[in-house]
Amino acid sequence: MLGIGVDIGGTKVRAGVVSQDGRVLERIQKPTPSSSPVAVEDVIVDCVADLRRRWTVAAVGVGAAGWVDTEQATVRFSPHLAWRNEPLRDRLVGRIDLPVIVDNDANAAAWAEYRFGAGRGSGVMVCITLGTGIGGALVIDGRVFRGQFGMAGEWGHMQVVPDGHWCACGNRGCWEQYASGNALVRDANALVSSGSPLAEALRAATRDYPLTGPDVTAVALQGDQTAAELIGDVGTWLGRGIANLAAALDPELFVVGGGVSEAGGLLLRPAIASFERSLTGRGYRPVARLALAHFRNDAGLIGAADLARHSISEPPGFLFWPRRRTPRGQRLRKFRDAFLAE
């Protein structure tokens, strides 16, 4: 059974046909119209119609950069798109004669990693997607944890610096103002503007100011010390935030993805160092692993497609819980099997 996944980013809409084992059989891409919710809807409908000319699919999943309710139906708010309490699922169902679900893009990406990527087999997994901001998601024993109202996982908006940088969410000192592509770009451009000779290589990196995140990463990967330090600063803040999440959630695994993670070890080494330095109770507890995400640009659409398939065909996640080899676990397995067989 195939599914279509659609990932609505701030600049691009990516859509693809995804197989049951997480492979992308075909992908298409269009620019995101920022004008109106209806225009975005049109693009989704076009992509789905286009792909369905060549593929027979069972369900459509849409991942959107916004806060989606627990019914996977309404986008309550999107900072980068024009949605405000938009009943996106119902609108799409009216135009696409297939089951549709809508989910947060970070939830979708995390689900792809859990099912087919870096998080396979994990018990408690925290995902951190470093893009423009920070996307977050928590998978517990085979279920995406959504909170009471569908807005859980917004780690990027936890305050880490009192009276710190202003954030698009209206607060100050949010984590994503220190550990994200935006943070990297802000600091790199400020350094270039300062006229410092340390910023030579960065200054030479582009003719089109301001610098972008990929510019800074490219200069760093070419060996420039200053650019590497800027990425290291982001990594240090990443590690501190990860230590905070370890205190709160005690996961087995952190999966770090998104554009900034392209910097690889330049980001992860300082992140691991500051995580280990900042972890509460260190020395007396198992330490969660940090891993880079397996999927890059496809994570959102793979996860959205798979969540959509799950919503129509798979048993609820908790049926995968009974894993311990206890009499109770055995008994639960029996019931799970009966449920699945029915």
> Which tokens in the block code for residue 93?
């169902």
* 155 binds a copy of itself per the rule CB under 8 A: yes
By CB under 8 A, the residues from 25 to 84 that bind a copy of itself are 67, 76-77, 84
Contact letters (x/-) for a copy of itself, 158-197, by CB under 8 A? Answer: xxxxx------xxx--x-----------------------
DSSP string, 9-68: -SSEEEEEEE-TTS-EEEEEEEEPP-S-HHHHHHHHHHHHHHHHTT---SEEEEEESSEE
Nearest Cα neighbor of 230 from 194, 160, 195, 179 is 179
CB of 24 to a copy of itself, least distance (A): 29
Residues 108-127 that bind a copy of itself (CB under 8 A): 123-124
The nearer residue to a copy of itself, 141 or 229, going by C-beta atoms, is 141
Is 157 one of the binding residues for a copy of itself (CB under 8 A)?
yes
Stretch of 34-42, 99-107, 156-164, 205-213 lying at the interface with a copy of itself (CB under 8 A): 156-164
Helix, strand, coil % over all residues of the chain, rounded to 5: 45, 20, 35
Given 146, 294, 309, 310, the residue binding a copy of itself (CB under 8 A): 146
Nearest distance from C-beta of residue 124 to a copy of itself, angstroms:
4
* Strand order from edge to edge, sheet including 75-77: 67-68, 75-77, 84-86
Helices H, strands E: what count in the chain?
10, 13
Nearer to a copy of itself, 2 or 332 (CB): 332
Q: Are strands 143-144 and 134-140 parallel, antiparallel or unpaired?
A: antiparallel
Q: What is the DSSP letter of 84?
A: E
Phi-psi region of 216 (alpha: psi -120 to 50; beta: other; left: phi over 0): alpha
Please give the Cα distance from 177 to 325 (Å, whole number).
Answer: 44
Judged by beta carbon, residue 96 or residue 160, the one nearer a copy of itself is: 160
Is residue 211 within the footprint of a copy of itself (CB under 8 A)?
A: no
Comparing CB distances to a copy of itself, the nearer of 297 and 321 is 321
CB of 138 or CB of 202, closer to a copy of itself: 138
d(Cα 4, Cα 24) in Å, to the nearest integer?
9
Closest CB to a copy of itself among residues 51, 125: 125
Residue type, 289: R
Work out the burial of residue 284: count CB atoms within 10 Å of its CB; fewer than 13 is exposed, 13-18 middle, 19 or more buried: exposed
| Residues between 227 and 286 that touch a copy of itself (CB under 8 A) | 240, 243-245, 247-252, 278, 280-282, 284-286
Of 55 and 339, nearer to a copy of itself (C-beta) is 339
Residues that bind a copy of itself (CB under 8 A): 67, 76-77, 84-85, 123-124, 136, 140, 145-162, 169-171, 174, 240, 243-245, 247-252, 278, 280-282, 284-286, 288, 316, 318, 321, 328, 331-332, 335, 338-339, 342
